[in-house]
Structure 1
Amino acid sequence: MEYPELVPGTLLRRYQRFLADVRLDDGREVTAHCPNTGSMRAVNVPGCRVWLSPSDNPKRKLAWTWELIELPQPDGTLALASVQTGRANRIVEEALRAGRVPGLAGYAELRREATVAAAGGQAARLDFRLDDPERGTAFVEVKQVTLKEPDGHGYFPDAVSARGRKHLEVLAALAQAGQRAVLLFCVAHEGIDDVAPAEHLDPAYAQALRDAAGLGVEVLAQRCEIRRAGERPVAIRLGEPLPVALERRFREPGGPA
Structure 2
Amino acid sequence: MKFAHPLVPGILIQRYKRFLADVTTADGVTVTASCPNTGSMLGLATPGSRVWLSESDSPTRKYRHTWEMIEADLGQGPHLVGINSSRPNGLVTEAIQQGLIAELAGYASLRREVKYGVNSRIDVLLSGGKSPHDCYVEVKNVHLMRNAGAAEFPDSKTERGAKHLRELASMVEEGHRAVMVFLVQRSDAEKFSVAADIDPAYAAAFQTAAASGVEMLCYRCRLSPSEITVEKRLDIQI
CA distance in 1 between partners of 2:23 and 2:184 (Å): 25
For 2:95, the equivalent position in structure 1 comes to 95
CA distance in 1 between partners of 2:163 and 2:79 (Å): 32
For 2:56, the equivalent position in structure 1 comes to 55
Alpha-carbon shift at residue 6 of structure 1 (Å): 1.1
CA distance in 2 between partners of 1:5 and 1:192 (Å): 24
CA RMSD of aligned residues (A): 1.2
Q: Map of 1:159-178 to 2, 5 A cutoff?
A: 159-178=156-175
Q: Map of 1:1-257 to 2, 5 A cutoff?
A: 1-3=1-3, 4-75=5-76, 77-117=77-117, 122-135=118-131, 136-150=133-147, 152-227=149-224, 233-246=225-238
2:147 aligned counterpart, secondary structure: coil
1:85 aligned counterpart, secondary structure: coil
TM-score, length-scaled by structure 1:
0.88
Query: C-alpha offsets along residues 70-117 of structure 1, whole Å, 9 cap, x if unaligned?
Result: 111312x11101111111111111001111112111210001012223
Q: Which runs of 5+ in 1 are unaligned?
A: 228-232, 247-257
1:95 aligned counterpart, secondary structure: helix
CA distance in 1 between partners of 2:121 and 2:171 (Å): 12
Q: Which runs of 5+ in 2 are unaligned?
A: none
Counterpart of 1:105, as a letter, is A
Identity, in percent, stands at: 44
Counterpart of 2:93, as a letter, is E
Query: Against the structure 1 CA distance between its residues 149 and 123, is the aligned structure 2 distance closer, same or farther, given a 3 Å change threshold?
Result: same
2:140 aligned counterpart, secondary structure: strand
1:103 aligned counterpart, secondary structure: helix
CA distance in 1 between partners of 2:120 and 2:155 (Å): 22
Query: Does the 8 Å CA contact 2:74/2:148 hold for their aligned counterparts?
Result: no
Q: Runs of 4+ in structure 1 displaced over 6 angstroms?
A: none
Counterpart of 1:14, as a letter, is R
Alpha-carbon shift at residue 133 of structure 1 (Å): 4.2
Query: C-alpha offsets along residues 28-77 of structure 1, whole Å, 9 cap, x if unaligned?
Result: 111111111111112112211101111222211111111110111312x1
Counterpart of 1:97, as a letter, is Q
Alpha-carbon shift at residue 179 of structure 1 (Å): 1.2
CA distance in 1 between partners of 2:223 and 2:48 (Å): 21
Alpha-carbon shift at residue 123 of structure 1 (Å): 3.7
Counterpart of 1:46, as a letter, is P
Query: Against the structure 1 CA distance between its residues 196 and 238, is the aligned structure 2 distance closer, same or farther, given a 3 Å change threshold?
Result: same
